[in-house]
Amino acid sequence: MEKVSQPQVFAIDGVIPVIHPSSFVDSSAVVIGDVSIAANCYIGPNVVLRGDMAAIEIGEGSNIQDNCTLHCMTGIPTIVGAWGHIGHGAVVHSAQLDTNVLVGMNAVVMDESFVGKNSVVAAMAFVKTGQQVPANTLVAGIPARVVRELSSQEIEWKKAGTRCYHELVERCKSTLKRVEPLTEKEQNRPALQVNMVAKK
């Protein structure tokens, strides 16, 4: 077994990305320029954080899942607040996400938009340029519209999902290894050490 290689990290114009040592960044992720990743974050496979036009800030305890792209217009940063949860394949571009926001799979959040605290952008939704999403709401559609307010139970469910990624950071740091595949399943195959997400 080999230790997992380091992520692809690049400076531009002399600006070097900042990655807190408690965070996990997958070896296939690309991190460029004015990017700051706070403590206990998970940056998944094939994520691109391209801080070559403006700053990208990833808040503490956030997760950016597989194949996400975060980029910026010239001079307008992209900010993911603490406990952000950015689903597989999403794009966030010069937008600001408040604390505990969930952006669903393959959603797009566009320039100079704002997503309020505890809100959920549904999978495949399109948050248009300059749109203001109120706190504690679910938005969906193209363009995204407010569907309803979220219950306190739903907000706690989202937090539980994010906590699973906090645990995944530790699992990746301690057990993720590059290996040769087996040719068949072994008897007494080990089980994944995953805690269940709290149900709604």
Q: What are the boundaries of each domain within the chain?
A: 2-152
Q: Give dist(CA 54, CA 43) in Å, integer.
A: 19
Q: In the 8-state DSSP scheme, what is residue 191?
A: P
- pTM recorded for the entire structure: 0.92
Q: Give dist(CA 29, CA 47) in Å, integer.
A: 5
Q: Which of 84, 37, 46 is nearest to 68 (CA)?
A: 46
Q: Which of 36, 56, 31, 58 is nearest to 46 (CA)?
A: 31
Q: Give dist(CA 119, CA 132) in Å, integer.
A: 11
Token pair listed for 10? 């690049």
| Architecture of the domain made up of 2-152 | 3 Solenoid (2.160)
What is the residue-level pLDDT of the chain in tens, covering all 200 positions? 556 668 899 999 999 999 999 999 999 999 999 999 999 999 999 999 999 999 999 999 999 999 999 999 999 999 999 999 999 999 999 999 999 999 999 999 999 999 999 999 999 999 999 999 999 999 999 999 999 999 999 999 999 999 999 999 999 999 999 999 999 999 999 888 777 554 44
